Amino acid sequence: MKLNTAFYYIREGFTNVKRNRAMTVASITSVTAALLILGLFLIIILNVDSMANQVESQLELKAFINDSYDMSKVTKVGDEIKAIDGVKSITFESKKDALNNFKKQLGDKSYLVNGLENDNPMPQSFIVKVTDANMMKQVAEEIKKIDGVTQVSYGQDVVDKLLGIIKIIRIVGLCVILILFIISVVIISNTIKLGVFARRREINIMKYIGATDWFIRWPFLVEGIVLGLVGSILAIVILGLIYGYAADLVNNKLVIFTLLPVRNVLRQTLMYFLAIGSLIGALGSGISIKRFLNV
């Protein structure tokens, strides 16, 4: 494509935007509304994924060590656990530490275990964190094979159910975004089609004098991309204001989980929105004008 021709397409695209102000406003409004809905689901999915990562990072398993093992043998067991593929870190919890932690869990009723210091029934153990929560079961099975490990505990049923729920949420979220994207393209296509229909005589004249389909199509594609970009920028601004207010409100009430900071969300969604807005505009224009080019 020659540079002069490219400038012509861009100039004509912007001219079309200015010339058809009513259709321009309608198209931008449609893009903004579609991306607002899409953006809300995207933000929800980003936060759910963040919460899932927080939960996964807190998952850990406990490997209980034989009470008769002295520190040299315990250290050897620890080295063997570290060597297992998927183990991120291990922390040794002595019998004394285990009793103190149990007292903290009891809170005001910690007096119930007073006097157990001399005959401590709590086992010594290693607290193991894994690189991937999906490897919990695999790592646990490998640890069980080590001599000196009496039991491995990680709440298998709870972990399996939790990971299953997280996986379903992520898959459903991606499917919802895909469906909303398709709906957005259809909405934009129908809106832009009205503008193309109003210029059908102009298109027919250009075809009559020998203009190629792509020569006619490019200005409309540029117009669609411009409308998509403007709509996406408006959507980002509105979403930023809404999410900023919602994040402050929720984070002040939630203790366990916190929503992603507004700056992080906008940084993650900005390029997506600009790309999706441009793509929706281009696809909408391309689909709209195809019918008239085939006549």
Co-location of 168 and 127 in the same domain = no
User: Side chain identity at 160, as an amino acid letter?
Assistant: D
Co-location of 25 and 126 in the same domain = no
Co-location of 168 and 277 in the same domain = yes
Q: Does the residue 143 lie in any domain?
A: no
- CA dist list (Å): 295 to 200, 213, 236: 10, 11, 38
Please give the Cα distance from 184 to 30 (Å, whole number): 8
pLDDT, one tens digit per residue, over 253-287 is: 765 567 788 888 888 778 877 887 788 777 777 77
Residue 247: per-residue pLDDT: 81
Co-location of 271 and 182 in the same domain = yes
Q: Does the residue 22 lie in any domain?
A: yes
Residue 118: per-residue pLDDT: 67
pLDDT, one tens digit per residue, over 179-212 is: 877 877 777 677 667 767 777 777 777 777 877 7
Co-location of 92 and 236 in the same domain = no
Domain total of the chain? 2
Backbone angles phi, psi at 98, to 5 degrees: -65, -40
Burial (Cβ within 10 Å: 0-12, 13-18, ≥19) of residue 279: middle
Q: Does the residue 26 lie in any domain?
A: yes
- How many CA atoms lie less than 13 Å away from 27 in the CB half-sphere? 36
Residue 80: per-residue pLDDT: 92
**127: CATH:** 3.30.70.3040
Whether 196 and 292 have beta carbons less than 8 Å apart is answered as: yes
What b/e sequence results for 257-273 when a residue is b if at least 16 CB atoms lie within 10 Å of its CB, and e otherwise? Answer: eebbebeebbeebeebb
Please give the Cα distance from 110 to 150 (Å, whole number): 27
Co-location of 213 and 254 in the same domain = yes
What range does the domain containing 210 cover? 3-55+159-293
Co-location of 191 and 287 in the same domain = yes
Q: Does the residue 208 lie in any domain?
A: yes
Co-location of 111 and 213 in the same domain = no
Run of H or E residues at 200 = helix 200-208
Co-location of 211 and 266 in the same domain = yes
What b/e sequence results for 95-114 when a residue is b if at least 16 CB atoms lie within 10 Å of its CB, and e otherwise? Answer: beebbeeebeeeeeeeeebe
The closest alpha carbon to 293, from 189, 228, 165, 196, belongs to 196
Ranges in the chain, pLDDT < 70: 1-5, 8-9, 16, 105-106, 108-119, 155-159, 188, 191-192, 195, 254-257, 291-295
| 3-class SS string, 14-80 | HHHHHHCHHHHHHHHHHHHHHHHHHHHHHHHHHHHHHHHHHHHHHCCEEEEECCCCCHHHHHHHHHH
The whole-angstrom distance between residue 273's C-alpha and the CA centroid of its chain comes to: 14
pTM of the predicted structure, to 2 decimals: 0.62
Co-location of 210 and 243 in the same domain = yes
Whether 289 and 194 have beta carbons less than 8 Å apart is answered as: no
Please give the Cα distance from 263 to 46 (Å, whole number): 13
User: Side chain identity at 249, as an amino acid letter?
Assistant: L
Q: Does the residue 278 lie in any domain?
A: yes
Co-location of 19 and 91 in the same domain = no
DSSP percent split of the chain into helix, strand, coil, nearest 5: 75, 10, 15
Residue 255: per-residue pLDDT: 56
Co-location of 287 and 178 in the same domain = yes
